[in-house]
A and B are shown apart, each in its own frame.
Chain A
Amino acid sequence: QQQVKQSPQSLIVQKGGISIINCAYENTAFDYFPWYQQFPGKGPALLIAIRPDVSEKKEGRFTISFNKSAKQFSLHIMDSQPGDSATYFCAAEYTGTYKYIFGTGTRLKVLA
């Protein structure tokens, strides 16, 4: 049973476009929602994260939107670049446990 559902599985975007990846969760025991970026042959690395008391967080071209009532959060990549081509994972942490559950990943390809 997937506790964090991520979509789409793959995404192709033109350079300069907006990439949007969505995640949904059911367990209200989650209280921290990071996004990780993974390049081929490497481990995932933290991209941006949000806590549920905030509805949006922006870092450069990357924005997380969080809808607590709908139990959904999404990653927006503005002005997408070929260098953004990677696999993106959303995740959720069980409150106070340091135990993270990940989504199934989205493979993003940005065309030059």
Chain B
Amino acid sequence: NAGVTQTPKFRVLKTGQSMTLLCAQDMNHEYMYWYRQDPGMGLRLIHYSVGEGTTAKGEVPDGYNVSRLKKQNFLLGLESAAPSQTSVYFCASSTRTPPNSPLHFGNGTRLTVT
């Protein structure tokens, strides 16, 4: 049982380039999330999804887009990367039942934008 898998693990981009981060979960979870982790800032919610075909903005959505075409996948896109987007990105998922089910995180993608 793989849980939450993030691809790729590392990536280096030049300013202005685009890329897509892939998150896949095999737990049949309804909810999926993208967070970024920066030193001294903790984990900040970028976008999240409460079901297939739905997405919503989190705390820091600017510069990112997401899509959830399939229940098991949640994609995070950067259309024009900026150095401020250098961070570690974590995907997480959770189930609707029981209430307050924990977040299950992947192991992150370390992105550097030069």
Residues of A within 8 A of B (CB): 6, 9, 32, 34, 36, 41-46, 49, 51, 89, 91, 93, 98-105
Assuming the A-B contacts A9-B40, A102-B42, A104-B42, are A46 and B107 also in contact, with contact meaning beta carbons closer than 8 angstroms in the complex? no
Is B105's beta carbon under 8 Å from chain A? yes
Chain A residues lying within 8 Å of B108, measured Cβ to Cβ, are 41-43
Residue pair B48, A44 in contact (C-beta under 8 Å): no
Chain A residues lying within 8 Å of B92, measured Cβ to Cβ, are 43
Among B12-20, B64-72, B75-83, B95-103, the one that faces the other chain is B95-103
Chain B residues lying within 8 Å of A51, measured Cβ to Cβ, are 100
Chain B residues lying within 8 Å of A93, measured Cβ to Cβ, are 100
Q: Is the interface of A mostly helix, strand, loop or mixed?
A: strand
Assuming the A-B contacts A32-B100, A44-B90, A49-B100, are A101 and B45 also in contact, with contact meaning beta carbons closer than 8 angstroms in the complex? yes
Q: What residue in chain A is nearest B4 (Cβ atoms)?
A: A43
Residue pair B42, A41 in contact (C-beta under 8 Å): no
Q: Is the interface of B mostly helix, strand, loop or mixed?
A: strand
Chain A residues lying within 8 Å of B42, measured Cβ to Cβ, are 6, 89, 102-105
Q: What residue in chain B is nearest A34 (Cβ atoms)?
A: B102
Chain B residues lying within 8 Å of A100, measured Cβ to Cβ, are 33, 45, 103
Residues of B within 8 A of A (CB): 4, 31, 33, 35, 40-45, 48, 50, 58-59, 90, 92, 94, 96, 100, 102-103, 105-108
Assuming the A-B contacts A41-B107, A43-B107, A46-B102, are A98 and B45 also in contact, with contact meaning beta carbons closer than 8 angstroms in the complex? no
Residue pair B94, A98 in contact (C-beta under 8 Å): yes
If A99-B58, A102-B44 are given as contacts, then 11 extra A-B residue pairs at C-beta distance below 8 Å, sorted by A number, are A9-B40, A41-B108, A42-B107, A43-B92, A43-B105, A46-B103, A99-B45, A100-B45, A102-B43, A104-B42, A105-B43
Closest beta carbon of chain B to A73's beta carbon, Å = 15
Residue pair A99, B48 in contact (C-beta under 8 Å): yes
Closest beta carbon of chain B to A92's beta carbon, Å = 11
Please provide the 3 A-B residue pairs with the shortest distance between their CB atoms, ordered closest to farther: A43-B105, A46-B102, A104-B42
Bound Cα distance from A41 to B107, whole angstroms: 7
